[in-house]
Amino acid sequence: MAAGLHFSKTVEAGGFVFVSGQLGFDTQGAMAEGISRQTTCCLDNLAAALAERGLHLTDVVKTTVWLRTDADFTAFNETYAEVFGNHKPARSTVVSAPARPDALIEIEAVAYKG
């Protein structure tokens, strides 16, 4: 996590794990190119944060997604569906620019530790 940022990557409360918004950074720490790749990286980063708590994407019950532009919705949705497969958590998707100017998407999640 970047120094100076005041938040926790994950917080557990009452059987739920809340995962802070994940951006499309690749494994080298660079922002990925394009909405499909950034979506994949967001979900990979989300999966890694969940794994630190012993959870998987199949434990996710709710996601919130921020897209920089509505023009990216179709490509985002296709990639998201491909990664989640038959598992369909509740989801809210809004168009609102993430704080980083190079971020096309941000995804946060709530998982249940059942």
**Distance from the Cα of residue 34 to its chain's centroid:** 15
| 77 or 97, greater pLDDT | 77
Report pLDDT digits (tens) over 56-72.
999 999 999 999 999 99
Residue 70 in any domain: the answer is yes
Is the pLDDT score of 3 beyond 70?
no
Residue 61 in any domain: the answer is yes
Residue 32 belongs to domain with CATH number: 3.30.1330.40
Residue 86 in any domain: the answer is yes
pLDDT of residue 2: 57
Per-residue burial over 2-15, b if 16 or more Cβ lie within 10 Å, else e, is eeeeeeebbeeeee
pLDDT confidence band for 45 (50 / 70 / 90)? very high
Task: Provide the whole-model pTM.
Answer: 0.94
Residue 12 in any domain: the answer is no
Residue 49 in any domain: the answer is yes
Rounded distance between C-alpha atoms, residue 61 and residue 19, angstroms: 12
Q: What is the mean pLDDT of the chain?
A: 95
Is the pLDDT score of 82 beyond 80?
yes
Residues sharing a CB contact under 8 Å with residue 81, sequence separation 6 or more, in sequence order:
none
Rounded distance between C-alpha atoms, residue 28 and residue 94, angstroms: 28
Is the pLDDT score of 4 beyond 80?
no
Give the number of other Cβ atoms within 10 Å of residue 17's Cβ.
22
Total domains in the chain come to 1
Under DSSP, the state recorded for 14 is: T
Region at 22 (left for phi over 0; alpha for psi -120 to 50; beta for the rest): beta
Residue 6 in any domain: the answer is no
In order of 22, 60, 61, 65, 101, the CA distances from 90 in angstroms are: 17, 9, 6, 11, 27
Residue 109 in any domain: the answer is no
Domain with 74, as residue range(s), is 22-102
Residue 83 in any domain: the answer is yes
pLDDT of residue 88: 98
pLDDT confidence band for 7 (50 / 70 / 90)? confident
